[in-house]
Amino acid sequence: MNAQPPDRDDQDLGQPVSELRELLDAPGSGFLARVRGSIHRRLFAGDAVDFVFKAFFAVLFDYLDLVMRALVGARPSAKEKD
């Protein structure tokens, strides 16, 4: 039901409005640097959160493994003694 109206012609849009052409403003010299900085901050924050959670759960599972071995009385294998 998204039919185009019959009076619409996308091929011939005409010349741009001259009043809008006067509003054209080039971005400043630091614009791209700010965009890159924002992207890098977000990437760093995501990597930091990822690292913190992985490290937290790795330590948690190591302590859980230690407790379970102490309760069961299992001896570490030869490979784990190194």
Find the DSSP H helices in 1-30. Answer: 18-21
pTM value is: 0.51
Determine the Cα–Cα distance for residues 40 and 37; give it in Å rounded to an integer: 5
Name the strand (E) or helix (H) holding 31.
Answer: helix 31-72
pLDDT one-digit tens code per residue, 64-79: 999 988 888 766 666 6
Tokens representing 13 are 């849009």
Higher per-residue confidence, 51 vs 18: 51
Residue 44's pLDDT is what?
A: 97
pLDDT one-digit tens code per residue, 24-63: 788 888 999 999 999 999 999 999 999 999 999 999 999 9
Residue 56's pLDDT is what?
A: 96
Helix (H/G/I), strand (E/B), else coil: 78: coil
**Distance (Å) of CA 38 to CA 34, 58, 74:** 6, 30, 51
